[in-house]
Structure 1
Amino acid sequence: MPLSPDHALEGRDTPIPISGIHLVNGHAMQPPWPEGMEEIVLGMGCFWGAERLFWQLPGVHVTAVGYAGGVTPNPTYEETCSGRTGHAEVVRVVFDPREIDLETLLRVFWEAHDPTQGHRQGNDIGSQYRSIILTTTPAQRETAQRSLEAYASSLSRSGKGEVTTEIEPLEAFYYAEEYHQQYLAKNPGGYCGLKGTGVSCPLG
């Protein structure tokens, strides 16, 4: 059940301040993006490991972690963890489709987490850890839906559970605190909870 606005935390009008510069590649983390770039927002559990996964891919221009898919404007990490914002921990992935296509990004997304777990990823439990794809164009949504159906079929043949991943248009992306941006570059031995199902995705 999505969180009702009546039960959501109020949030704030002012965005959480960040440096705006990606620690790993030095690119700007806020728009406008260079011409020809596309963006998609992906949630697959704790955003620390998820962000590192995508910034390492050739063709990805920049990444940032944040909160999306919920109700509360400009939430804090603590508010998001309370379950009363409706948001998931997500990664904004800005990519050059001439160098890496959306199917490849989605294959990485599906194979790096377990999209059958509902409101959890492994030991990380709560609605903020749910699997979610937030698209920025109708074409992305169609591609994402096809990828879900293809991976769900592969999981079913392997005896896995049903996919619980949400696919929705992106309404708003709120940056997480600076502490969380490129966290595993700042803390190389830090926690990374990513764990896939071991089932290959027939995409890309």
Structure 2
Amino acid sequence: MLFGRRAPVLPTPEEALKGRPAPEFPLPERHTVLGTPLAPPYPGHLAVADFGLGCFWGAERKFWQTPGVWTTLVGYQGGHTPNPTYEEVCSGLTGHTEAVRVVFDPSQVPYETLLKLFWESHNPTQGFRQGNDVGTQYRSAIYTHSPAQHAAAESSREAYQSVLTASGHGPITTEILPAGPFYAAEAYHQQYLDKNPGGYCGIGGTGVSCPVGVAKTDN
């Protein structure tokens, strides 16, 4: 039990909501902070990384503040329902987690730097929750776009587990999977904390530093 509730459970593909063939809402054209396009295609020298670390409002801000990040957008990933809405994801019946897509220049910010920011910006040992936010949509996740990213993510998880264990924390519950479909969230979620500077941000780390240089990849 979590806070007196039944523990969240991921739905099977058969149990998941059916969704829809196309999104019900348009994606804004430009990032409100960086001024760059949100939708692909992106310039060819850039790479893409996807992370889930709790409520995506605060998570997105962590990444857009990082030098070398070209654009960010929030959405839903890792589930079964095509083109879900926020309300559907929050129901726990789509299987998605709240995710941040990070489009970055590997020559300015290595993927390992993004991994370090990911691990240190949340508590990856909490399962289907992040702080007081409880639900399958708040689980920790890394969705990779190349074998090199996948190897770097797994290596960083092993390295961070070592220092977390030494600090008295439990096992990491982060899922690391090849990236599946990423469905952009509604317009009001994009760069939410830029539009609402005093808005809710539930992002908080363990206070344990993640080792750097645990793996090397260009994207």
Give yes or no for TM over 0.5.
yes
For 1:3, the equivalent position in structure 2 comes to 11
For 2:198, the equivalent position in structure 1 comes to 189
Tell me the CA shift for residue 2 of structure 1: 4.7
Q: Take 1:28 and 1:110, find their aligned partners in 2: how far apart are those partners? A: 27
The correspondence for 1:69, drawn from 75, 78, 96, is 78
Does residue 34 (structure 1) correspond to residue 31 (structure 2)? The answer is no
Q: Take 1:20 and 1:157, find their aligned partners in 2: how far apart are those partners? A: 45
Identity, % of aligned pairs? 61
Runs of 4+ in structure 1 over 4 Å off: none
Unaligned runs of 5+ in 1: none
For 1:92, the equivalent position in structure 2 comes to 101
Tell me the CA shift for residue 3 of structure 1: 2.6
Root-mean-square deviation (Å): 0.9
Question: How is 1:147-186 mapped onto 2 (pairs within 5 angstroms)?
Answer: 147-186=156-195
Unaligned runs of 5+ in 2: 1-8, 214-219
Question: How is 1:78-117 mapped onto 2 (pairs within 5 angstroms)?
Answer: 78-117=87-126
Preserved contact between residue 27 and residue 38 of structure 2 (Cα < 8 Å): no
Q: Take 1:197 and 1:161, find their aligned partners in 2: how far apart are those partners? A: 11
**1:9-35 per-position Cα deviation (integer Å, ceiling 9, x unaligned):** 011111231112111111011111112
Alignment-mate amino acid for residue 15 of structure 2: H
Alignment-mate amino acid for residue 10 of structure 1: K
> Taking structure 2 as the reference length, what is the TM-score of the superposition?
0.91
Q: Take 2:12 and 2:63, find their aligned partners in 1: how far apart are those partners? A: 32
User: Secondary structure at 2:100's aligned position in 1?
Assistant: strand
Number of aligned residue pairs: give it: 204
User: Secondary structure at 2:14's aligned position in 1?
Assistant: helix
**1:66-99 per-position Cα deviation (integer Å, ceiling 9, x unaligned):** 0000000000000000000000000000000000
Does residue 136 (structure 1) correspond to residue 145 (structure 2)? The answer is yes
Alignment-mate amino acid for residue 115 of structure 1: P
> Taking structure 1 as the reference length, what is the TM-score of the superposition?
0.98
